[in-house]
Amino acid sequence: MTKVVLEELKDAVVVGNVKKAKRLAEQIVNRGVPVNTAIEMLMKAMKIVDERYERKEYFVIDVASSASAMRSAFKVFEPYLEVEPAMVKAKIIIGSLKGNIQSLGKDIVAATLQSAGFQVVNLGADVSAEKFVKVAVRENAQIIAISISMEETIHYLKDVIDILEREKLRDKVKVIIGGNAVSEQTQKEFGLDAYAVDAKECVKKVEALLS
């Protein structure tokens, strides 16, 4: 029965049914299903949405509907996030890289980092390399976390690194990436500091970078 409800939640997010997504999320919490399991299903749903958008089966309005459904479910889950408190505190700048309009996966990561005790500045979606670095300097942040869901925007990562090097900040500010379009190979290719496959791993990787 639990598996059925989780699949229904995924489907509700994919089609952008806000009311149904919220109702199913409440059912999941009431049944005592681990919230992290449900959040993994939300991430699967948004991966499907990203893929449909890239294939031009979905348009911006469809992505927005799915994002609204995901947000309504996540608000139900957020108080029950299961995260180990981080031993080292720091300030993190997070955003979806320029050209990426879908930011809900990034919002889950941001909320998870906050739950672990980090200070998080969420820049939203379609964030330029210049803005990432400018805000990191202004906020005296130690980490820039970048979400990428569209392959054609990956090359903007080079701009982030170039600006950090130009401003002589590369040793002071660590860069971690995540999202459907990137991998450990992307991290190595651009000389970044870490790659995280999901929100919980991002917390661990950030803590490791700070230590």
Q: What pLDDT digit, counting tens, does each position of 180-210 carry?
A: 899 999 999 999 999 999 888 999 999 999 9
In this prediction, residue 63 has a pLDDT band, given cuts at 50, 70 and 90, of confident
User: Which regions of the chain carry the CATH code 3.40.50.280?
Assistant: 91-210
Residue 45 has pLDDT above 80, yes or no: yes
According to the model, what pLDDT value does residue 51 have?
A: 85
Q: Does domain 2-80 have CATH number 1.10.1240.10?
A: yes
Residues 109-161: pLDDT tens digits?
Answer: 998 899 889 999 999 999 999 999 999 999 999 999 999 998 999 999 999 99
Q: Pinpoint the residues of the chain covered by CATH 1.10.1240.10.
A: 2-80
pLDDT score for 28: 95
Nearest 5 degrees, angle CA 114-CA 120-CA 123? Answer: 130
What class, spelled out in words, does domain 91-210 have in CATH? Answer: alpha beta
The pLDDT of residue 87 is 72
Answer yes or no: is pLDDT of 15 > 90: yes
Question: At 36, is the pLDDT very low, low, confident or very high (cuts 50, 70, 90)?
Answer: confident
At 40 the pLDDT is 87
Q: 3-state class of 100 per DSSP?
A: coil
pLDDT at residue 103, rounded to an integer: 76
pLDDT on residue 142: 97
**C-alpha 126 chain-centroid distance:** 13
Q: How confident is the model at residue 104 (pLDDT cuts 50, 70, 90)?
A: confident
- Return d(Cα 73, Cα 26) in angstroms, integer: 8
pLDDT digits (tens, 9 = 90+) for 77-89: 988 887 777 677 7
Indicate the angle between helix axes 104-115 and 60-77, nearest 10 degrees: 20
Provide, rounded to the nearest whole percent, the portion of the chain with pLDDT above 90: 67
* Closest to 144 measured CA to CA, from 97, 77, 200: 97
Mean per-residue pLDDT of the chain: 92
DSSP 8-state assignment for residue 121: E
Residues 107, 122: Cα–Cα separation, whole Å: 8
pLDDT given at position 200:
87
Q: How far is CA 143 from the centre of its chain?
A: 14
pLDDT bracket for residue 60 (50, 70, 90): confident
